[in-house]
Each structure stands twice: as C-alpha cells, then as structure tokens.
Chains A and B, each alone.
Chain A
C-alpha cells in the first residue's frame, strides 16, 4: 500500500533538515556509509552483518521528537496499527540502490513503513516464484508493508540514475506496466527514506516458513537432491559469499596463471573473447590485441572490474546475454566447480559453447580432487607445509601469488587416459556419488576427502595489500575472524573431459593438470 502526500512539503523540508549527515564517522547516531548509500539509525542500531538489531541495547534518545508527532498522527488516521520504535534513515544519491531483501522476520514485527522524501523512486518487489512488480514511490508518500509484502516478497532499489516510469501517471504511486507507449524516463534526485519498524521480542510465527529465520531448521547444508536445492545451495554458498568477500577476494587475485595467459596470447588479434566468471577481471587486460568482455554473478566483483576500466557485466553463467556464435573464444576459470549438480555443470559448459562460433575455442579450469599428482603436491598443499606453525591459514593468500614463486613446478600435460589414477579415482568418485548427507567442511591446505565440500574463506577486515581496492560492504561490519563457506564440487581425473564429451558439438583439443586444477581446451565443431 502506498499512501500519497502523507505529509506536507513543509514537513518534508523540516524532516530533511532535521537529519544531520555529519562527516564524523563516530557520530553518536550510528551513521554509516554503506557501499551505495548513507544510513543513520535511531531507537536501535541495525547490524548489517547479521541483519538484526541488538534488542537489549536500545540507542540513547529513542526516535527524534519530530517523528513522534507524525507517527501519532498516522496511528490516529489508521495508516498504521502499531507505533514503531526503530528508525533507519537512508540517503540515496542518484545511482545508488539497495539490494533486494526481506527484512529479517525475527527482528521486526509485521508492519514496516517507509516514507520517501526528496525524490521519487521505483522500488522492485519480487515474489519467490519469480514475479517482479515495480512500484512507483512518489515524493512524500508512505509505503506500508504488511503480511505478504512484508514477509514474503523481497524489495529493493536497482542502482541506476534513471527510472522507466509511466508517462501518464507521473508523480503518482502505482505499478509500472510494460506498455511501451506510455513509458518515459525519470531522472532520480537525492532521495531520503525514513523507514520505521517495531522491534520484535518474540520469535516470528508468520505463515511463510520458507523465508522465516525463526522457523528455519538449523541444519547445515546437505548434498542437493533436486534442482531447486542445488539452486538454493549455490545462492547461499556461492553467490552470497562472493558478494560478501568480493573486496578481500579481489585483493588476493592479482597474478595471472601462466598457462591461461599463454592461451589468451595464442588467439588471433581482434578475437572477441568472453570471460565467463571473470571475478576481478585479472584476465581481461592480458592481451591488448583481443576484445575481451567479462561477466560475473557477483555485482561487487563486476564493480571492481568497472573501476579498473574493464568491460564487464553481471549475469548468470547458465543464461549469458550474448548472441549465439558471437565469440571467437571463451574462458571459464574456476567457475564450473561451483555448480551443485552434474546436470548444472554440463548446462554451464553448454552455455559456454553456445557463445562460440564454429571453430572457436574455450579454456576451462576447475579445481581438482587430486591435489597430489605424479607424486608432487600441488601448490595448494605445499602452502600448508610452508605455513606450518602459523596459526591461521586461509586459502586466500596463495592460489595466485605462489605462481610467482614457483613457476611451472608440476604443470604437465596429461595423456588422455591415466589408468593408474583412474582406477583409484573411480573408486573415490563412486563412493562420493552416494553421498546423501551433510556437506563436509574442508580443512584448507589438506587433501580433499569428498568431492562436494564447503571450503572456508577467512575474511580479513582490511584487504591491505591492494590499496586501490576499497573495503566493500558495511565499514567494519565484519570482525577480522569472519569465516564464509563456499560450495565446491572438486573434479576427479577424467570427470571434466567426460562432462565435455556429453556435448555433441565440441572436440577436446587438450586436457591437462595445472596446479591442482583440471583443465580442458575445447573447440566448437
């Protein structure tokens, strides 16, 4: 429900003037500069690291007096049923946004209201079924979210500078339809929102248990048994994690791998090359004679590419918005192992090949189950030996950097079949296929004991090394010890080749083992 003109422009002015955005980060009203907006909290501080409030620690001062009288008025008029005790003020510059989210069920009561001031904006509401509704929030309007809109639909604001809106209904609230004849662009101004919520003191008992944290079973993730579970696993243990660790992850990824560079340098000048899952874009500028364009599932990583003046966009590797046959070559480095079922891994390969013109080549790297090959330990394992005695070992510091120290120690091309390894590995693989239980958590720098694992990432608060990379996410929200788990399916010897062979229109030009990874170069027929 959107109530228009809920306050006068005089009140709007007064409210806006009451907000003092001090430059001092230690401001007592808990002001923070998030990546895409400024926020201030009253009543209770909202903690972005767990998306909840500390219910035992109300902020001194409560809500500003000016809000009090306005809230009383709304209560009397019946726009709201309960009086909120928490206020978050967000300030969005044009181009800012807020990721789609549902306010944590256990944190707040049913009714959540948001007052839009300064500029109108279009808010996107998404139902878990995939339905998206764009709602115009005019200036001085009050958005009231209750029931399904509060508990089940996500809401968010796409970061952009213009909104496409209904030309005939300009300045009015309502749903944006796709009637092209009636669309126009609206330039965003600075919008300040006052979001009022009432802190919940009992567990949530809504009827939307699938998205309710109070009703969530506290079971660790298990091996996915369906497409839906696989998607959820990837969402929670791949997409969300990369988004959170993007800044730190990027600061550890600066050294290109020699054989990937070699592949890129071998391509004819002027080739159009797509890097699907480009991360921070470290391969996009390797060969200036190519036109390279990257994509990644993580908006934060794509932002890092853009800051580096590299061409990149956000997309899902299963649905890449490129014309079929438009690329001369593609690379997929450390991507396919994040898909949680064999079908999805093949689908990702298929999508990669779809982009290629006939004769075009793709280079694919996935993490190997075997971290020891020809009696040589991979750098990944070696790092453990080097680091022995050090207390905290994260997998973050090594995979790129070590290449500098020990180039090509055990890069060896593999013959296509390797009987001795295969026999041993097939046994391994088979035993894994029946796995039906919880996903094990891998101990970094050790041998893999399962093909489907959660690999810990130790987030460091300050990316440190690479000064050009800003720390992302809420400043200081993660203590230095935060650990995130990423889902991996590590590949057995021969498994990547077998997956490629299920595609009808490719031939495998080369397959090899490179530093704990299985690698394939494909050609589209």
Chain B
C-alpha cells in the first residue's frame, strides 16, 4: 500500500483501483514508520483500502487521518505499519 506515495493520477482516482492483495508480516520499525507518516496522502489511502474491502478481498482497519502526536501513538503506528508495509497490491488497474 505504498501506493499512497505514487503519482497524482492514482491519487485523483483511488476508487478505480481494485485488486487482490497479499499480506506479509513485516517487523514494526518506528524509525521507518514515523518519517513516512507525513508523506501519506490522507485522501487516497483510506479510499484505496476501502475499495479492496468493498470487493470483499480484504478488510483492513485504516486510520482516516493524521493523529496529533503520532510519534508516540503505538496503536496508530501499528495500524499504519500494517496497511503501508504489510498489505501488498499484487495487481490493479488505473484506468
């Protein structure tokens, strides 16, 4: 789900992305997660995650917005870690 970093075209049309996904466990590393949070596009991420849920391919709990003081919010970081690093889009269409 690092797609939150990809180009504008995707960000404008996240609802068009629909894809099977794969979940792999990755060790939580706050040093990587914390600097990544400000780069997330909050418009695109929950929608993209929601698309995959609607297709019943995966249900994922995704924070809807940036949390104040996220640097120390362990649950928030864990959720973000999961959606960004552990959920991989295997395929998708951007039309």
Contact = CB atoms under 8 A, between A and B. Distances in A.
B91 to A, nearest CB: 5
B77 interface: no
A322 B6 contact: yes
Given A161-B91, A326-B39, A270 B31 contact: yes
Contacts of A311: 2
Given A272-B39, A321-B6, A322-B5, A164 B32 contact: no
B6 A289 contact: no
Interface stretch (A178-186, A193-201, A404-412, A464-472): A178-186
B95 A323 contact: no
Given A321-B7, A323-B5, A323-B8, A289 B32 contact: yes
Interface in B1-27: 2, 5-11, 16, 18-20, 24
A270 B95 contact: no
Contacts of A161: 20, 90-91
Q: Is the interface of A mostly helix, strand, loop or mixed?
A: loop
A270 B34 contact: yes
A293 interface: yes
Interface string A263-274: 000001111100
A55 interface: no
B95 A183 contact: yes
Nearest to B35: A270
A269 B32 contact: yes
A162 interface: yes
Contacts of B8: 323
Contacts of A74: none
A78 B9 CA distance: 46
B20 A164 contact: no
Interface residues of B, number: 28
A160 interface: yes
Nearest to A134: B95
A160 B31 contact: no
B66 interface: no
B59 interface: no
Of listed A161, A288, A291, residue having the most chain B CB within 10 A: A291
B21 to A, nearest CB: 11
Contacts of B34: 270
Contact of B31 (A162, A164, A269, A323): A269
Contacts of B32: 269-270, 289-291
B72 interface: no
B36 interface: yes
A185 B18 contact: yes
Contact of A270 (B7, B10, B36, B90): B36
B67 interface: no
Interface string B31-62: 11111100101000000000000010000000
Nearest to A326: B5
B29 A289 contact: yes
A162 B39 contact: no
Contacts of B31: 269-270, 289
B93 interface: yes
Contacts of A328: 35
Nearest to A313: B6
Contacts of B39: 272, 326
A323 B18 contact: no
Contacts of A290: 32
A185 B18 CA distance: 8
A162 B20 contact: yes
A270 to B, nearest CB: 4
B58 to A, nearest CB: 14
A268 to B, nearest CB: 8
Nearest to A328: B35
A272 B29 contact: no
Interface string A134-173: 0000000000000000000000000011101000000000
21 contacts: A160-B91, A161-B90, A161-B91, A164-B93, A178-B95, A180-B95, A185-B18, A269-B32, A270-B32, A270-B33, A272-B5, A289-B29, A289-B31, A289-B32, A290-B32, A291-B2, A309-B24, A321-B9, A323-B6, A323-B8, A326-B39
Q: Which 6 A-B pairs have the closest CB atoms?
A: A270-B35, A269-B31, A160-B91, A164-B93, A270-B32, A321-B7
